[in-house]
Amino acid sequence: MEKQKIHPLFAIGSLLIGILILMSMGVVAQQPVTTDSTAPVPKIKSKAIKNTFESNWIQDNQSVMVPIKGTFEMDIQHRFGVVNKGYKDLYGIYAPSNIRIGLSYVIIDKLQLGAGFTKDRLQWDFNGKYAIVKQNKIGGWPISISWFSNIVIDTRGKENFVTDGDRISYFHQVLIARKISDKFSVQIAPSIAHFNNIEGFLDNEGKIQSKMKNDHYAIAFMGRYKMTPKTNLMINYDQPLTQHPMNNPHPNISFGLEFVTSAHAFQVFAGNYHNIIPQSNAFFNQNDLTKGQFAIGFNITRLWNF
């Protein structure tokens, strides 16, 4: 079995994550210093930073945020076709589109569970996100860390699969973010995606060879700048790390605007991801932004608190 090589960018990202964690541990370990041994040590009340991001989504990626306990959320995500055909399909608006409708609920503090259905390949996704630590204003952690995972089932006809296990894929992502200032927040998110079955081909000797590996590593970099109290500028970059025998996916670059209220978030952006489901984007993105193969997309989020 061929040993999978780790891309240098993944090693750099892992090193950065380790440094951030060590820094945060150092901050937690620090104690107030006083020259008077009889003087009481003041207690520093730590409060979590709020609104590192305004939504669960940063365009095509999850954000580090988990809403408060009892929050019910509905998401509508839409991706038009690529714009490079111009007026023939009105710059992708009348091209075949992809849509996902999702529902989620924060069942206990810091834990959100959800499900969704996507038009592409009739995929059902079941997902969860947990806020491991939160950035604090004074003392405590200097960063926020959350974990996101999903399992996706492709529900197309059985003629598309050898076994039912071939329908299943998984995605895991660590979300690490810091609110630099009231206006500026950043996030880094390494991920691994897995498909139980990847399409293969027959080589010259008649042996079945995989076009792609079953596992795929990637890393994403995101930023948000608050232009007004209700309007944010957002940018996202996804870099594939795994090298496959064939069909290597292209990176994704996306940028756009977010408009928010206390219960809504609307994001409109341009990028070259089309699949919405994160492991499908990671494995199968063949849109090349340098060739004009990008699409307009939007996310609509609605929150209710119970």
Identity at 268, one-letter amino acid code: V
pLDDT at position 206:
53
For the chain, which domains are there? 55-305 (2.40.160.40)
Rounded to the nearest 5°, which phi and psi values hold at 139?
A: 65, -175
267-294: string of b/e by CB count within 10 Å (b at 16+)? bbbbbbbbbbbbbbbbbbbebebeeebb
Rounded to the nearest 5°, which phi and psi values hold at 160?
A: -90, -5
- The tokens describing 200, both together, are 């293969």
On whether the CB atoms of residues 100 and 144 are closer than 8 A, the answer is: no
Q: Band the pLDDT of 238: cuts 50, 70, 90.
A: very high
Q: Band the pLDDT of 36: cuts 50, 70, 90.
A: low
pLDDT at position 31:
43
pLDDT per position as a tens digit, 110-169: 999 999 999 999 999 999 999 999 999 887 899 999 999 999 999 999 888 888 999 999
pLDDT at position 207:
57
pLDDT: which is higher, 74 or 141: 74
pLDDT at 12 over 60: no
pLDDT: which is higher, 28 or 144: 144
Q: Band the pLDDT of 80: cuts 50, 70, 90.
A: very high
Closest to 213 in 3D by CA, of 49, 5, 38, 55: 5
DSSP for residue 4 = P
pLDDT: which is higher, 204 or 291: 291
% of the chain beyond a pLDDT of 90 = 69
Query: Computed over its alpha carbons, how large is the radius of gyration of the chain?
Result: 21
Collapsing DSSP to helix, strand or coil, 250 comes out as coil
pLDDT at position 210:
72
pLDDT at 209 over 70: no
Residue corresponding to tokens 């714009």: 83
Collapsing DSSP to helix, strand or coil, 192 comes out as strand
- The tokens describing 74, both together, are 């509905």
pLDDT at position 130:
98
Q: How many CB atoms lie within 10 A of CB 3?
A: 5
